Every structure is written in structure tokens, then in C-alpha cells.
Structure 1
Amino acid sequence: MASPRVDDPLDLGGITLRNRLYRAPLLECAGNGPDAAAVLAEELEPAARAGAGLICQGATIVRESGGCAALNMTSVTDPEFVASLSTVTDRVHEHGSAIAIQLEHGGLRSMETWHAGYRQEHPNLQQLAVSRPPRLLRLLDRLGFLDYDARVLSTDEVYDLAADFGRSAALATDAGYDVIHLAGANMGLIHQFLSPFYNRRDDEFGDGVRFLEVVYDEIRAQAGDVPVMTKVPAETAAPPGIRRHLTEDDAVDICRRLADYGFDALVPVSGSVFWDASIVRGSYPKRAWSDEQYQAGYAAAFGGPLRARLVALGNRIEAAWYDFDPAWNEHLCRRVRDVVSVPVLCEGGIRERGHIDRLLGDACDAVGMARPFYAEPELPARLLGRDVADDTRAVCESCNNCAVPQVTGAGGVCRTPSVLRAAGALKKEGAYNRPPEPPEADGGDPER
């Protein structure tokens, strides 16, 4: 049987995606204000208009207060607000794409840990913790770089948190979201349950997969038969000396268990035990760190100009350590795909059409991109089509100038002139003018 190509449809939990290219989750920084739905629609609709099979809205928080990993994240707890997001789902569905919402709680990665200004404004917020923070993180607390006032969740509180995921999933499904995407990696609370670096519990949740199983049960009970997918981490980029971490074998086993339990799709990703450059590999974002308009925001976030410069130095070292590696999750995804029967989605450093087609049917069943959409919101228009050349690639240079200013609350946009010039030239050439879809794929909700 011939390997699938990116233009071929894919069944994901009973939903037929029109192709195998998706916009991976990004920080939209839309917040919860009266314009949030309009901001999200403006961010997400271009990818649908350009033909992406699936649009993943970035991490949204399942509790009203606490748990945000960055400024201006959207929480999905208020029924009236979440209902207003039907504006977003309707605009995506008009173009024949499916839309997923990613649900998250930051736990020890929340802003009440690392953002100095936010801690001062919210002195009563405690981090939710799987276990007592690891010794290395407690050292950073004593040195003043982090601030831990963690509350370790009791068994009953873990069940309550899982119910919050289910409640948010139900609200999102009512608003028209097609898929529930759990933020199981990038050092959020779900990742902390899975990781032996963080999880030293002696109850049933000492097995971190159990938390994902309970979350899945709550989604099924409250939201019905909506497709559920999750990221699954391997901590293969953990620094030397970190003995307790998720190996690649561990991640493969977690994926197998989740597929057996009923999860509809899996996104295996490799990273570290910390929220660092291992999840956004690329160049040191010198332009972003030196831009004067963000200096006050960096100082507010990190506790002063000196500490901001120290964080920038750490970023420079990490950028050299975690150099860009095309499709850096390919090997892990291939191993997972060998042991599960549900779709495996691959993302991380994928930039070229020929590479996409080589990955499909071998390492994965669908391919996602994230940062390239900041420069090219309508990127799928250039990558989809039977006659697209193998060397057609995103203009993104993986420089990370888009990501660092988000710690100040700035939106996610490309800030690199050479990339913007390249995208502008393509726009003038009409490269994003996607031809109409065939009648059978035109408009309406994705097929179920």
C-alpha cells in the first residue's frame, strides 16, 4: 500500500480531517476580555482559509485563577464566555477545517512561580503541585530566581482537577470545538504527573498515567464522544545529572497505555524536565532580547534588569545546547507508531513539503507546524496540493524572536525582517491565493 501524502484525508476519532497538515498549538495571548473571541478568530481563521485540515487553539486554562504559564492566556471556565467562542469555531468550520482546543494547567510552571511582577500582584496564589518541588527547583527558590509556595494536591483534589478538565471540555464541545487536545508536555501539570522528576506520590496517582485516564473518563462523562488527543513527553533532553526523568522507552509505553485506554490520537514530543529551549529549538533570539520596547517587560517578569540579562544569558547557552534539528521528534514518533493503532501526530522543526511526505506513513499520520504560522498565517496554501515541489518550505528561520517577547504579554508574531520580507514577497506573488476546494469538501463541519 502506498504511503499517504499530505493531501490525503485522515480519520481522527470519527472525524474526517480533509488532509494531514495541521496548525499546532501556539500562544494566542487573547485573554478573556470582550474581544477575545474576535482575536482568536483573527488568529486561527487564516490557517483554515488556507486549507489546514486541523487547527489547534493554544493552551487554555481549566481553572478561573492560577495555572497560567504566560500572560494573557485564555481560561475556559465561564459558560457564557466559552459560548462566545462559537464565533471562532464557526469561522474555522466555514472553510472545512476541524478545530481542537488545548486544555492545560501550569502547576509548578505557572506564572506564580517565575513571573516576579505577577507574584507581587497575586501574593495569595499558590502553585498546584503533584509532589513537593524537586530539590533543584527548591534551590532556585532559595536563590530568588523562582518563588515556590506549592500546595501538593490531595487525592480528592486530583479528582477535582480532573473534573475541571472534563467541565471545560464539555463547555468547549458545546461551543463547537471538534477535538479536545490535552497539554501533556512542555512541563505543564499533566507532564508533571507523568514525570518521575516531579512525581513522587504514594497514592494511585504515583503512576502519572492514571491522572490522564481519570481526565479522559471525565471528558467522556461530561463532553460525550468527542475525540481526545494528548501530547506525551520524553525527557531525553534533560541535563546530565538528572537521573529521574522520562526515557524514550517510558514515553513509548505511556503512549501504548493511553491508546489502549481509548485516546484517539497521540503527539509524542521530546524535551527536558524544565521549560527551556529544548521545546523551541533554534537560534538565540538576539533581536528580541535587545529590543528596547521589551526591556521593562523583561525586568518586570524576571525581577529586575540584571536578572533579565542572566535569563538571556541562559537562553544563549540553551540555544547552543539545543541546536535546531529538523523534525526532532521523528524517531520517537516512529517508535510510538509501531506500537499503537491510533493516529500519531508529529511536530517540531518540520519545514519542508518533501520532508512532510517522507514522514507520513512512516513516522506519523499527520504533521503539524507552529512557529512558522507567525510569519505565514496562510502557510498551508503553499504546502498543500498534488503538484507542490518537494523543496517548498516555510520561510520561518527558527530564530525564536517571536517567542521571547511573549513573557511580557506581547502577542505571537514574527519579528525577523528577513523572514517578513520573504513572506511579503510571496504574498505579492499570490502564493497564498488558495484555489477553491472541491465541492464535496467545501464548507460545513468536518465529517463525522
Structure 2
Amino acid sequence: MSSLFDPFTVKELTVKNRIMMSPMCQYQATNGSPTDWHFVHYTSRAVGGTGLVFIEMTNVELRGRISEKCLTLHSRDQVKKYKQIVERCHSFGSKAGIQIAHAGRKSQIEGGDIVGAGEEPFSAEFPAPRALETNEVEDIIKKFGESSALAVEAGFDTIELHGAHGYLLHQFLSPATNKRNDKYGNYETFPVEVIKQVRSNIPEDMPLIMRISAVEYGEAGYGFNHVLKLIPAFIEAGVDMFDVSTGGNDPVRPDSYPAYQLKYAETIKNSFQVPVIAVGRLESPQVAESIIQNEQADIIAIARGMLRSPYWAKEASITIGKEMKLPGVYELGYNF
């Protein structure tokens, strides 16, 4: 049986363990670029033993940010700061990924050009978006490719497309938000064209991950079968691995509990013979270990657990009795 602390390989990417720091917005950027906050935040999790450190939702244009404090990767001038984070993570034996996205109608930039698949706002508290023209959609697709090329230049080991949680890719693949009459009214067209554009701008041996919402919540939300029908097209276009979450296209949220989303990841893994990342209240080391041992997922994404402790991986290794040493003198803190 595999363990949480065994390596995992997809294409030419090998991570030293099955632990991933889930992408989580920090709202600490300056003009879209990383700051000292980001350098410390991400590299400290690499020090703590995380196998795959994922940079938060990073948008393909300034208009695509959730807030003015969110990251973008749209200019070569930004590459140096991202590269510094990547190289430092590498120095501690961790791999680094970046989540590429566009907020679409979930942008809350005051006075901004808020755009989406349609004109309906996310909720009464959000501004109403402007429906993108067909040529504007095509331009955003190109920007996904350009951002991915810059990510390769910065040295990232893998890229994740954010097709979940109500952001622009999700808005196009959901019947609740995509009521268009042009070619992008087909739920798979926009995400497939984005996938192909990104794939053409990254090395063939670099794995491309896609985060999806397996189900939506609320009265108009889609069920799991809707996504299952789309996945073959995503794989054919170039997705190598799925990061399986839920919800986000409606303010409605269910009660959550450990592994409440796992069944969707497991089904996708078994149905399509594709590696998956499980996420959602998995910070218990015993729960995370059991998921890997039972072959229900290939990598465990930890979110709030990593916010509480940069050393979640080390502490998990102690809990389940696995050997893992921290760099420098930090290991002394665990010698009792």
C-alpha cells in the first residue's frame, strides 16, 4: 500500500510525498505581483516538508482579479518575483505549482470592468457583470496561454487551471451561468480551448491539472453527471490530473465534514483511470493516510491545516509514524 509519505509521479513531475498545499488566496499582492508575504508564506511550507507547494489563484489579467490585492501573472516583469519563490521551494526539496485563473463575475474590484459568461451577478452583494463578447472570450483564452508561458519561465513544475468555485472557467461550463447563444454556449468549448491553449505553451512533459467543482449547490446547481460528461473532453484536450472540489457558483454552501468531497474524486479516478487530488477538511493525518492507502486519491490537498501550521507535513509524519526530517535546526524542535 502507498503512504502519504511515499513519492508520486505524474508525467515528469515527481513529488517527494503526497502532501499538497492547496491554493489559498492571500490578498497581499501589490499591483498583482508577489510581495515578501508570499515569499515567506510559500517557502515556509516547503521548509515544513510539503511535497507540492501551490501558489494561490493567479489571474491572467488585472481585470480578472477577485480584489486589487490578488495575484496576476500577465507580464514578464513579474517573472523574477515568482522565480524567487519557486527556486527557494526547490532548495528545500519541494515542487512548486501555480493555479492560473480568471475571476469573471466574482471580481469585486470597485469600478472595475466586471465580466462573465453572462450578465447575472453572483449574488445581491456582488456587482452585475458585463457579458463577454465572442472576440473578448477568444482574447482571454490567449491570455491563459501567455500566463502559462510566463509560469514556465518562472520555473514552476506544474500548472493548475481553476475551473471550480464559480470563477470564469466554471461559469462557462455550468448551465446555471452559461446561457450564451454563440459557440461558447456549449459548456465544454471555452474550457477545452483554454486547456489546448495552455497545453501549447507548456512543455509536453509538464503535467496540467484542472480543479473542478464536481457538483454545485443551490436550486439551479448541476449534479455530478454533468461534470462526468465533460471530463473526457478535458482529458483529450490535455488535462493530466484533476483536483476535485465542489460548489462555488452559488452562495449556498453545505455543512462540511472530513472527506465530504472524497467520493467525487474517487469516482473520477476509477472511472477515467486518471490521477486525482482530494481536498476538503482532510487535515487529520489519519484521514489523509487512509485515503492514500485505500487508493481513493493520489495526492491530499491541505488548506486550513497549512494555515495553522507551516509544519503540517512534519507533524503528520509523527502522528502516523513516518520518518521525515526538517532542514536546518528545525528538527531539534521535535527531539523530545
Calculate the TM-score normalised by the size of structure 2: 0.89
Alpha-carbon separation, structure 2, partners of 1:194 and 1:371: 28
- How far 1:430 moved relative to its partner? 2.3
In the alignment, which of 92, 111, 119 is matched to residue 132 of structure 1? 119
**Mapped contact 1:58–1:101 kept (Cα < 8 A):** yes
Alpha-carbon separation, structure 1, partners of 2:258 and 2:230: 24
Any residues of structure 2 matched to 1:48-127 within 5 Å, and which? Answer: 48-64=46-62, 66-112=63-109, 119=110, 122=111, 125-127=112-114
**Partner SS for 1:367:** strand
Cα deviation 1:38-70 (Å, max 9, x = unaligned): 322200112111221101110111113x22213
**1:255 corresponds to:** 231
In the alignment, which of 430, 438, 443 is matched to residue 333 of structure 2? 430
Aligned length: 326
Any residues of structure 2 matched to 1:159-170 within 5 Å, and which? Answer: 159-170=138-149
**Cα distance change of structure 1 residues 188 and 33 upon mapping to structure 2, 3 Å threshold:** closer
In the alignment, which of 196, 199, 203 is matched to residue 220 of structure 1? 199
Alpha-carbon separation, structure 1, partners of 2:61 and 2:179: 24
Aligned: 1:354 with 2:286: yes
- How far 1:272 moved relative to its partner? 4.6
- How far 1:275 moved relative to its partner? 4.4
Cα deviation 1:164-215 (Å, max 9, x = unaligned): 0110111111011111111111111111011110001223322232212111
Segments of 4+ moved more than 6 angstroms:
none
**1:178 corresponds to:** 157
| AA in 2 matched with 1:430 | G
- How far 1:35 moved relative to its partner? 8.3
In the alignment, which of 240, 246, 258 is matched to residue 264 of structure 1? 240
**Partner SS for 2:210:** strand
In the alignment, which of 271, 283, 299 is matched to residue 339 of structure 1? 271
**1:202 corresponds to:** 181
**1:378 corresponds to:** 311
- How far 1:428 moved relative to its partner? 11
Any residues of structure 2 matched to 1:200-349 within 5 Å, and which? Answer: 200-225=179-204, 226-236=206-216, 238-239=217-218, 242-243=219-220, 245-275=221-251, 278=253, 322-349=254-281
**Mapped contact 1:232–1:267 kept (Cα < 8 A):** yes
Alpha-carbon separation, structure 1, partners of 2:237 and 2:157: 20
**Mapped contact 1:23–1:52 kept (Cα < 8 A):** yes
Alpha-carbon separation, structure 2, partners of 1:178 and 1:349: 26
- How far 1:152 moved relative to its partner? 1.5
Alpha-carbon separation, structure 2, partners of 1:79 and 1:35: 11
| AA in 1 matched with 2:208 | V
Aligned-residue Cα RMSD (Å) equals: 2.4
Specify which structure has the higher proportion of strand: 2
| AA in 2 matched with 1:127 | I
**Cα distance change of structure 1 residues 275 and 41 upon mapping to structure 2, 3 Å threshold:** farther
**Mapped contact 1:182–1:230 kept (Cα < 8 A):** yes
Deviates more, 1:85-94 or 1:206-215: 206-215
**2:327 corresponds to:** none
Alpha-carbon separation, structure 2, partners of 1:129 and 1:26: 22
- How far 1:29 moved relative to its partner? 2.2
Calculate the TM-score normalised by the size of structure 1: 0.68
- How far 1:110 moved relative to its partner? 0.5
Cα deviation 1:51-100 (Å, max 9, x = unaligned): 21101110111113x22213411111121122332110010000111111
- How far 1:223 moved relative to its partner? 2.9
- How far 1:265 moved relative to its partner? 0.9
Structure 1, unmatched stretches of 5+, are 113-118, 279-321, 391-426, 434-448
- How far 1:4 moved relative to its partner? 1.5
**Cα distance change of structure 1 residues 35 and 204 upon mapping to structure 2, 3 Å threshold:** closer
**Mapped contact 1:57–1:99 kept (Cα < 8 A):** yes
**1:39 corresponds to:** 37
Alpha-carbon separation, structure 2, partners of 1:215 and 1:30: 27
**Cα distance change of structure 1 residues 262 and 222 upon mapping to structure 2, 3 Å threshold:** closer
**1:25 corresponds to:** 23
Alpha-carbon separation, structure 2, partners of 1:104 and 1:208: 17
| AA in 1 matched with 2:213 | P
> Could you tell me the percent identity over the aligned residues?
23
- How far 1:352 moved relative to its partner? 1.5
Cα deviation 1:120-162 (Å, max 9, x = unaligned): xx3xx2211112317x85xx3xxxx3332x3222222212101
**1:368 corresponds to:** 301
Alpha-carbon separation, structure 2, partners of 1:35 and 1:193: 27
Alpha-carbon separation, structure 1, partners of 2:307 and 2:75: 29
